Amino acid sequence: MNPNFQEYAQRVVLVTGGTKGIGRGIAEHFLAAGATVVVCGRNAPLELPAVMDAGVMRQAEFLSCDVREAEAVRAMVAEVVRRHGRLDVLVNNAGGAPEVEAATVSPRFHEGVLRLNLFATLHAAQAANAVMQQQDEGGVIVNIGSISALRPSPGTAAYGAAKAAVLSLTGSLAVEWAPKVRVVAVSPGLVRTEQSHLHFGNEAGITAVAASIPAGRLAEPADIAQACLYVASPRASYMSGSNLLLHGGGERPAFMSAAKPTDKS
């Protein structure tokens, strides 16, 4: 892992949900780029994100936080600033939802999905912006979106709707908080993580899904992390209010498999 983004050597980065999956990959890549990284979650992981740097193991710091609670999020951001004096990058990664039937699931479930995937993003962004606006160099907020925001999301309807709202939120906040704070979205397609089996089944199922993607594979957390390194860096200083879609070429349209060419010979 050698991202070669020297811009992060003196930067402080907060990654919500940064203890596993995509978030862990993002945290590890910012660490490798020289940043001081803080991750949060409801429960401390057995192992924190870490990288070897010049023979020295560098690892992320952990703060316990339920990002669905606005006051807890404000306290977490305040603690990051108390420890390090600044906050340069916030990656709003925490989120997700199990597969359910929209017709029968409880209203409380849908409300919970919105709290985690939309309101938590807004609360963390508000807290980070308050800090970044006071810094000479401002800061960057990266919202992790999803392909589910841009196409039907059967089984995770509320999640897809929440992620669509995150994209709208990204554009609005980018206008409100400019020029000190840039707000961008990075939207993964299908990503292989330790929880892939919950969505795609066993290894055969994962392989079959990967074959349906033009790139021939699911994304890895590293693919999303590299994008975050770029959009949060000075190299992307004119990028704000936009959405970087990472889907390996997308999903093959269903008609391509269903349709059969007519023999006109």
> Active-site residues: which are they?
159
Query: What's the Rg (C-alpha) of the chain?
Result: 19
Query: Edge to edge, what strands does the sheet with 89-92 contain?
Result: 61-64, 36-41, 12-16, 89-92, 139-144, 181-188, 243-246
Cβ atoms of 124 and 115 within 8 Å: the answer is no
* DSSP code per residue over the chain: -----GGGTT-EEEEETTTSHHHHHHHHHHHHTT-EEEEEESS--SS--EEEETTEEEE-EEEE--TTSHHHHHHHHHHHHHHHS---EEEE---------TTTS-HHHHHHHHIIIIIHHHHHHHHHHHHHTTSTT-EEEEEE--GGGTS--TT-HHHHHHHHHHHHHHHHHHHHHTTTEEEEEEEE-SB--TTHHHHH-SHHHHHHHHHTSTTSS-B-HHHHHHHHHHHTSGGGTT--S-EEEESTT----HHHHH-------
